Amino acid sequence: MDFTHFNKDGKAYMVDVSEKNKTKREATAFGKVKVSKEIISKLVNNQMKKGEVLGVARVAGIMGMKKTSEIIPMCHPIFISGCEIKFEIKEEECEIHIYSTAKTVGETGVEMEALTGVNVAALTIYDMCKSVDKRMIISDIHLLNKSGGKSGDFKF
C-alpha cells in the first residue's frame, strides 16, 4: 500500500477527501495505566486530593477526541457525532483500562480520534495521580476495531 499523505513531489499534504462518499464510521481504541496499590485504593475509595480522577479523565478524553485535528497534522477536522470513554479498574492487576469510542458520518474515519481519546484520558489519570506515585506506566494503546469507509471493518 502506498503512503497517502505525500503528493506526487514527495511532499507531505492533507489527503483530499472531497470526492469520497459519506458513510457511518466508528472506531474504538484501548489503553491502560499501570498504577500502584495505593493509587488503586485511593481511586476506589474516592480519596484522591485532586478530585474524581476518572470523571475528569473522561471529560479530558472526550475533549481530546474533539481536538485531534489540531494536534495531529494531517488529520481532517471532522464532526464527531458521538463519543464515549469507559474505564475498568482492575484492582488485582493495579491497572486502569481505558476504552475510547468515536463515531461520525463523513468522508474519513475516526480511528485517530479514538486513539487520541485514550491517550488524553491516560495522561489525565497520570497528572491527577502523580502526587501519590509517579511510577505509573501508560501502555498497550491500540485500535481495537473500526467500521465504515472504503477500507471496511477492522478488528484487532
Has residue 1 got a pLDDT over 70?
Answer: no
3-state helix, strand, coil in the chain (%, to 5): 30, 30, 40
Considering 127, 133, 140, 153, which one is annotated as catalytic?
127
Say yes or no to pLDDT of 122 above 90: yes
Of 86, 104, 105, whose CA–CA distance to 96 is shortest?
86
Cα 87 from Cα 31, distance rounded (Å): 10
Query: Which three cell numbers mark 72?
Result: 495531529
Task: Give the whole-angstrom CA distance, residue 60 versus residue 81.
Answer: 17
124 phi, psi to nearest 5 deg: -70, -40
Please indicate whether residue 9 is annotated as part of the active site.
no
Per-residue model confidence (pLDDT) at position 149:
86
H or E element that contains 106: strand 95-106
pLDDT of residue 132: 96
* pLDDT tens string 83-121: 999 999 999 999 999 999 999 998 888 999 999 999 999
Give the three cell numbers for residue 55.
470523571
Residue 2 has a pLDDT of: 60
CA angle 115, 112, 34 (to 5 degrees): 10
Per-residue pLDDT of 4-57, as tens digits, reads 677 777 777 777 787 778 889 999 999 999 999 999 999 999 999 998 999 999
Nearest residue to 30 (alpha-carbon basis) of 91, 117, 110, 103: 117
Query: Confidence band (pLDDT; 50, 70, 90) for 3?
Result: low
